[in-house]
Structure 1
Amino acid sequence: MAPLAVFYVAVGDNGVSGPLIGCGDSIVATSTQPVRFTDQVGPAIRTLLANRTRSVGMSGLVNVLYRSTLTYLGGSFDGTTITIYLSGQFNLSGECDIPRAEAQLEYTAMAAAGASRAAVFVDGTPIDAVLSLK
């Protein structure tokens, strides 16, 4: 048993609390209560997607995925890149939520797998294309 790392957004933090992501925000790791798992990726992503609140406790962190209806289908790890497969829909609040949503999913998956890169697919389409403003 061990805690899982789940990532949320520090809006307007400018990279102070964690890696800098789009719109001058930071992506910040939080820890869950200890859970039993054989593979961390599924439980970590499911924990992130199950959070239905925008505010993360009293931390000041934000969960931009709280209104999205995404389901974790599975993942694969090649030693460098963790690839996760989701189904469902994003329900975001403006263009700054796009890099926030990507970072929450990618950093949570990378931490769980010990990966240096992440690829996210939603209903078979890369996340960049799903969240494209074009």
Structure 2
Amino acid sequence: MPEQVAPLTVYYVAIGNGGTSGPMIGCGDSLVATTTAPVRFTDQVGPSIGTLLANKSRDVGMSGLVNVLYQSKLTYLGGELNDSTITIYLSGQFMLAGVCDIPRAKAQLEFTAMAASGATRAQVFVNGRPIDDVLSLK
């Protein structure tokens, strides 16, 4: 792919607003798309997920949005687009603040990957395991 310069889309959570700002997820929350300053890239997925994972602040500026992944120690390993599904591979571990953070974290990763790739479906693997297995409370 040719090198491009464009803003990246990264998703954060509006806690408790009932889906009024974006797709409804988790415990009555909304997922909200934000954009970065323009970034140089050839493959948008890596930089988008990298930007999300590199944000080590819970609060996203003064926006009222929250990054539930801020304490997690995750690294983007790669991704692949097959038809309309983006699959991303991460290593590391989640550090979440409670049961409501599980769907929030999953949605932040999936929607950020879909926005970056143009896919309509996302699969996330962490340490070779599906995200649902990794985040399962069982």
User: Structures share a fold, TM > 0.5?
Assistant: yes
Give 1:67's aligned residue.
Answer: 71
Identical aligned pairs, as a percentage? 75
Q: Which residue, out of 85, 101, 116, partners 1:97?
A: 101
* 1:118 aligned onto 2:122: yes
Query: Per-residue deviation at 1:22?
Result: 1.2
| 1:31 maps onto 2:35 in alignment | yes
Separation of aligned partners in 2, 1:115 and 1:57? 28
1:43 matched to which residue of 2?
A: 47
Higher strand share: 2
Query: What secondary structure is seen at the aligned counterpart in 1 of 2:40?
Result: coil
| CA distance in structure 2 between the partners assigned to 1:8 and 1:79 by the alignment | 26
The 2-side partners of 1:54 and 1:22 are apart by: 17
Tell me the residue number matched to 2:86. Answer: 82
Q: CA RMSD in A?
A: 0.4
* Deviation for aligned residue 1:79: 2.1
Partner AA of 1:41 in structure 2: V
Q: Secondary structure of 1:36's partner?
A: strand
**2:24 paired residue number:** 20
Aligned to 1:6: 10
Q: How many residues align?
A: 134
Q: In the alignment, residue 40 of structure 2 is paired with which amino acid?
A: R
The C-alpha deviation readout for 1:5-52, integer Å capped at 9, x for no partner, is 000000001110000001000000000010000010000000000000
Moved runs in structure 1, 4+ residues, more than 3 A?
none
Residues 48-107 of structure 1 show CA distances to partners (whole Å, capped at 9, x for unaligned) of 000000000010000000000000000000121000000000000000000000000000
Q: TM-score, normalised by structure 2?
A: 0.96
